[in-house]
Structure 1
């Protein structure tokens, strides 16, 4: 398979693309993994993730860290950025947003392994951190710590 062939069919990369109105409307795109015979970890960090509180409509903010060990597919990063951005107008609790993102990635990519850490900033004085993973990490793959310190407030 040549390099140009793995990018055939991508519709969002290389041009102006509108932000999807909802996570359901967002299209996650994938490309063939040219290193599928090697187990390695891919990390995406989204330190400015936003969604809406479903009760008040007020914005909620999180630092997301997504780690995955790809199988045959890689997520195309612009489509991931647009998918994450589609939550800006989406009302859902922290737990639902975090797990929805993970499950959508798993459904699209069928990775060997995936984990997500949702480090949510406090609302009402309580930070909520949400963690999800598909199972034990594959043996022999370096999976670094997510590196997001627990919330400490001003102290």
Structure 2
């Protein structure tokens, strides 16, 4: 399978719509397992004020025939740096795009957003019930507690 980014110099896409996600054959097709990506310094922009928003994003998925290539995922997530979107739209949009394109057995995403206006917002989406027997560890992101 040909990739657009792996082993090549790749610029950060100007927008999520311009970002190309690469998928490669699952080297363990037929096995039930979980893949986790954590982006603890994710950023996007508030669609109202244009100010930056920060989140810890955790993506868990159980592959089917393909896996997402990590460099292309990094560039895709980085493309949100200049993208305006509400937390809910950004989090669910990332999960749905990965699910729709990669077609894993199952996918969930947790967007743990840092406070905006004094209120942290956590957004969660999953594609459905996880497959029976899939080990689902906690996403490991504590609820926001401020400095305390």
Assess same fold via TM > 0.5: yes
Runs of 4+ in 1 over 3 A off after TM superposition: none
2:15 corresponds to 1:22: yes
The partner residue of 2:39 within 27, 41, 46 is 46
The corresponding residue for 2:90 is: 97
Looking at structure 2, the residues matched to 154 and 21 of structure 1 have their Cα atoms a distance apart, in angstroms, of 34
The partner residue of 2:68 within 53, 57, 75 is 75
Looking at structure 1, the residues matched to 51 and 4 of structure 2 have their Cα atoms a distance apart, in angstroms, of 32
Task: Provide structure 2 residue ranges, at least 5 long, that are not aligned to the other structure.
Answer: none
Q: Which has the larger radius of gyration?
A: 1
Deviation, structure 1 residue 14: 1.0
Looking at structure 2, the residues matched to 15 and 29 of structure 1 have their Cα atoms a distance apart, in angstroms, of 13
The corresponding residue for 2:121 is: 128
TM-score of the aligned structures, taking structure 2 as reference length:
0.98
The corresponding residue for 2:58 is: 65
Say how many residue pairs are matched: 148
2:120 corresponds to 1:138: no
The corresponding residue for 1:110 is: 103
Looking at structure 2, the residues matched to 108 and 53 of structure 1 have their Cα atoms a distance apart, in angstroms, of 26
RMSD: 0.7
Deviation, structure 1 residue 60: 0.2
Looking at structure 1, the residues matched to 133 and 96 of structure 2 have their Cα atoms a distance apart, in angstroms, of 24
Looking at structure 2, the residues matched to 11 and 87 of structure 1 have their Cα atoms a distance apart, in angstroms, of 19
Deviation, structure 1 residue 11: 1.5
TM-score of the aligned structures, taking structure 1 as reference length:
0.93
